[in-house]
Amino acid sequence: MSDRISKVDDEEALAFHRDPTPGKIAMAATKPMATQRDLSLAYSPGVAAPVKAIAADPDKVYDYTSKGNMVAVISNGTAILGLGNLGAMASKPVMEGKAVLFKRFADIDAIDIEVEEEDGEAFIECVRRFGNTFGGINLEDIKAPESFIIEQRLRELLDIPVFHDDQHGTAIISAAGIINACEITGRRMADLKVVVNGAGAAGIAVLELLKAMGVDANNAVLCDSKGIIHTGRDDLNQWKAAHAVETDKRSLAEALDGADCVLGLSVAGAFTGEMIKSMADNPIIFAMANPDPEISPEEVEAVRDDAIMATGRSDYPNQVNNVLGFPYIFRGALDVRARTINEEMKIAAAHALAALAKEDVPDEVAAAYHGARPKFGRGYIIPSPFDPRLISYVPPYVAQAAMDSGVARKPIADMSAYRHSLARRLDPTAALLQRIQGAVMGQGRRIVFAEGEEPAVIRAAYAFQSQELGKAILVGREDITRANMRLVGVPEDAITIVNAALSERNSDYADFLYKRLQRQGYLRRDVQRLVNNDRNVFSACMVKLGDADGIVTGTTRSYDAALRDVKLVIDAAPGQRVIGMSVALAKNRTLFIADTNVTEFPDSDALADIAIEAAAAAKGFGFTPRVAFLSYSTFGNPAGERSEKLQEAVDTLDRLGVDFEYEGEMNVDVALDPSHRFLYPFSRLSGPANVLVMPAIHSASIATKLLRVGGGATVIGPMLLGFELPVQIARLGASVSEITTLAALAAYDPEKHEVGVMGE
């Protein structure tokens, strides 16, 4: 069980919503509005062109407006959270919150609309009149039974997806958990004996979805505050009556006797320990009342040790959290311009979530669990909301189901390309990494992971190999390495392990290294000790003598120490200089920054070499390099010693006749802002610089950290360039994803590849 999170204080929550700007959402323009020309295009007279086009063909509204990525979050405030009917305006913080989640998790623009109308027919008519201006409608916090009628009627009246999340979101996440709970306990959905307690919107939706997924109606019992909903009752509305069963049982306690599964969407304390004890072996218990569940996990543990438990709370394992559903369901629906969200799409979403929970979790999930790394099992049957793969995992299932069921107006031809595009929506590194991975996949490059006993390195090596990016080799003592493989859930025979001291190549490596270092003060025994005990040296020898194609190290030793080790074995490529380069990726810009970690104060020749190396790497990543030598001065003003070195570097490139654009020395704003060319019309850069050569390591380090922390950019690296063979050194304590990325870079070697010109 995870540690409890701290209770949210009311004053803290109020301050969060109030400061520094009231509310949680704002509007951002997607087009520049900097010139008179921009204004003319955005409004009069330019706006007339799309108006006429849409009038002639209404479907063009998706091409020329934001409709296709816009969702309305609508409520009348009659059932706000667990607080009841507090009015439309009181629901606004919740609706704004929903809009924020749409944007944060699925890059969907959402607008909250609070309708001051409790009459169902009037509410329907109001939404009908403006509904089609959006790509979809998310209904929220509307009390039952009006919520059923409102959703059903709006689905009939509007030609866009209409989705009541309180019903279907909860149902989809619950169903995903039930799929996995059945697998763990060896049950089939068709045989599952289910009890749903709570006959409101969510409870009925959960039961309907489970039946659609195969639960036998004869094995499904719905209960409300009066007990079992059976055919003998005369107080049932049409939605409850649809699930009435013929039975002599009357109470919730009787319903739970022998049941395999119970789902609570009712009130705190509805389940007792005696009820839970009466359930079948390995009971599945989803107690989802908020803020307090029908029964707590501690109370269940006190009476049973074989239960699989889920709640609606984030401070217990297996949280049924609707944010796992609605953003990604709408993402898939919008991307195929679906006319509705049907049962097939909901079932597809449930299966997608169930499948994702079985995958090895990334570092982002482990961080959310305070460093613990959950694995598929009784305590992890539902994915974490912080799993970054949700955006590329769930929508394709939903989109495919929409296409297969005939409600998609814009089918997706290439689902693989669609998955990649989804990953890029929230992660600016995705496009670059996908190109790199695509280039190395299937090439069989052998990458040695020098610190092979480390759990993070083992997981990175396994991820590298599982993604078919190459063959991983772990260097380490076999007993410790295998023990840690078991610890992190990696099959012991999945990755090759090499023990440096016991390797049959040990003496060959020692012979080679002694011959290389004997005139640098090393005795034979010194060299043998290095090969036996220093995994960086041993791993570098593997690469140098052809037993591997690249090396990744650095997670347990300082960067400088790891670099010194590797340099004992591997040289710079002929005519090249070893440098470090970082790649900073923002949403609309990619910058290559060098030298970030090797030469502290480069002279003019070194600066010229750095520019050549970095430009070659940028070209290898598919960019057209435009190099700027950065300084505090611009073209000699003000003068200074470092600026003179940069000017000399430019002169050197002039003499060499390189095949890329370069200019300097210049301040960073001149390098990146095209408008400064009006002040400096002689500049040789045809556009904003994308390769930034720094005057010294300290400025490079400061710049990359500012971009990451202050500017919100994602920074890859630093990566090493210039070695004769692929070498990458991670930072101390690097994450699994960082190590895997560097391994892919070692397999790729950007100075020797080109992946085609990328959009800049």
Catalytic residues: 43, 98
- Pair type for strands 590-594 and 579-585: antiparallel
Cα 566 to Cα 571: distance, rounded to the nearest angstrom: 9
User: Beta strands of 575-688 (E only): which ranges?
Assistant: 579-585, 590-594, 626-630, 661-666
Cα 592 to Cα 689: distance, rounded to the nearest angstrom: 9
Cα 316 to Cα 303: distance, rounded to the nearest angstrom: 18
**Cα atoms in the 13 Å half-sphere on the side-chain side of 458:** 25
Tokens 């438990």 belong to: 309
- Pair type for strands 194-197 and 109-114: unpaired
Query: Token pair of 588, please?
Result: 């609309």
- Torsion 120-122-128-131 (CA) sign: negative
Cα 153 to Cα 146: distance, rounded to the nearest angstrom: 11
628 in Cβ contact with 610 (< 8 Å): no
User: Beta strands of 420-538 (E only): which ranges?
Assistant: 446-449, 471-475, 496-498
User: Beta strands of 385-517 (E only): which ranges?
Assistant: 446-449, 471-475, 496-498
CA 119 to chain centre: 41
Cα 427 to Cα 714: distance, rounded to the nearest angstrom: 8
Query: Token pair of 209, please?
Result: 């979805």
Query: Token pair of 528, please?
Result: 């043998």
CA 709 to chain centre: 19
Q: Which of 452, 465, 444, 748 is CA-nearest to residue 617? A: 748
CA 29 to chain centre: 25
| Residues linked to residue 447 through DSSP beta bridges, in sequence order | 472, 550
For 44, phi then psi, to 5°, come to: -80, 135
Hey, what amino acid is at 720?
A: L
CA 194 to chain centre: 34
Cα 44 to Cα 51: distance, rounded to the nearest angstrom: 11
Cα 77 to Cα 85: distance, rounded to the nearest angstrom: 6
For 310, phi then psi, to 5°, come to: -135, 150
Q: Which of 192, 173, 172, 306 is CA-nearest to residue 259? A: 192
Cα 234 to Cα 360: distance, rounded to the nearest angstrom: 51
